[in-house]
Structure 1
Amino acid sequence: MSKEFNEVHLNHFNAQEGAYSVVTERESKIDSQITITGKEKTIALEHFGEENIHKGPAKNNKKLANKEFNLFPSGEVISLNIVFPKPKKKEVRIYLNKEKFKPKTNDIWFIFKRENKIWIGSYNQNQWDAISQENSSQITNDVSISDETNNSDLSKEIKRMVDTAFNTAKNADGSLTTSKKKIKDAESFTKKSLFEYIEQLIETQKGKCALTGLTLFYDGNHTDDARRVSLDRIDSNGHYEKGNLQVVCKFANNWKGANDNAEFLRLIRLIQNQNG
């Protein structure tokens, strides 16, 4: 069964996304093929384009069936056949090649994206387990800070913003049913680097909301939830990336919605002028 990479795997392989599963005896010794499912299948189809995957036996269209992968860890470019073997069904298979890519029974085979390239490889069970043992502390929390800082109210709020950003990016499909399309990828950050970047933003903004200039509130220093710190994308159609993030009051983020900074500030000025 296909499983999606967690934060430890993403860091280990320096991957944007990835998935893995256990190679069965039938796949390795009898059929010499792997049926890809779940996230594995999604990664492959999105990279190559479903319309570019041959439907039917590979021998019927060897050129279309043959696709290039980067072999982990060397980066060597190898060619493997990947097809919809039964045209009327959604099953996708990658055919193994003993000279290029031939994992053994019970090995963990994986597929991932890195810098617009698709990678493939395998580890034995001990190698795979070693990834988690080396980085087990990162599975649930990629943010590593001192005990003193970890207990501070502001640090807890920053961690909340980090978790919210990653959850939003993970759950978004890039085409929300709203008046504007929102792209919410967070591929340019790990949780740790985003935590540190938000710290820098708050320091640069001198603890003020980037939109309203009001002092930012956080758990432990306020009773006004509307002014609680909130992470906002300057261009709501852009990504969670450096240069497109600011820390604002919760109410300002809610009011801004899918608008960009300029439009939101224009509306704020209209209110100020009306009341001035």
Structure 2
Amino acid sequence: MVGSVITDREYYDSQLTLVQDEAEFLFNFIPYGSILRGNVASDEDAALHRFFHLNTGQYVFLNLVFPKPEKDELRLYLSEERGFKPDAGDFWYLTSQDGELCIGSMPAAEWHRM
């Protein structure tokens, strides 16, 4: 399980920049070469990726891109409309269940008790 606390800025911008351990974990399920390089608007279908949302028990489709084609900065976009936008201060995470990529969130205090 990998993840981090959502900052006020990340919540406001509705985007998370995945750090090394988060990206490496994700690449076990979504191959590096299959992630769109460029902004979401350049290919909205290619930007969408499926995650199993552990909090709801449903699949969500979120935008995941390398927004700067020449850099490996990986960005995951939060979206209330798509079903995943935890609050600022919550801990968001990636994990796997039955070999499937899962996403979830919890209050940071709960995460620290684990």
Would you say the 8 A contact 1:43–1:113 is kept in 2?
no
Shift of 1:104: 1.3
Q: Which runs of 4+ in 1 moved over 6 A?
A: none
- Of 31, 46, 54, the residue aligned with 1:49 is 31
Using the alignment, how far apart are the partners of 2:11 and 2:76 within structure 1? 12
Would you say the 8 A contact 1:25–1:105 is kept in 2?
yes
Using the alignment, how far apart are the partners of 2:99 and 2:43 within structure 1? 25
Deviations 1:75-131 (A, max 9, x none): 20010000000010010000010131111111111001222211111111232234x
Using the alignment, how far apart are the partners of 1:50 and 1:125 within structure 2? 29
Would you say the 8 A contact 1:20–1:110 is kept in 2?
yes
TM-score by length of 1: 0.40
Provide the residue aligned with 2:66 in structure 1: 84
What does 1:153-172 correspond to in 2, within 5 Å?
none
What do you get for the CA RMSD once the two structures are aligned? 1.2
Q: Which amino acid aligns with 1:104?
A: D
Matched, 1:129 2:112: yes
Using the alignment, how far apart are the partners of 2:40 and 2:69 within structure 1? 12
Would you say the 8 A contact 2:5–2:108 is kept in 1?
no
Using the alignment, how far apart are the partners of 2:62 and 2:53 within structure 1? 11
What is the total number of aligned residue pairs between the two structures?
113
Q: Which amino acid aligns with 2:62?
A: L
Shift of 1:70: 0.3
Would you say the 8 A contact 2:64–2:75 is kept in 1?
yes
More RCO (CA 8 Å, sep 6+): 2
SS of equivalent residue, structure 1 residue 97: coil
SS of equivalent residue, structure 1 residue 47: coil
Shift of 1:38: 1.9
Structure 2 gaps of 5+ residues are none
Which of the pair is proportionally richer in helix?
Answer: 1
Identity between Structure 1 and Structure 2 (%): 33
- Of 44, 47, 51, the residue aligned with 1:69 is 51
SS of equivalent residue, structure 1 residue 69: strand
Choose 1 or 2 for highest CA Rg: 1
Provide the residue aligned with 1:107 in structure 2: 90
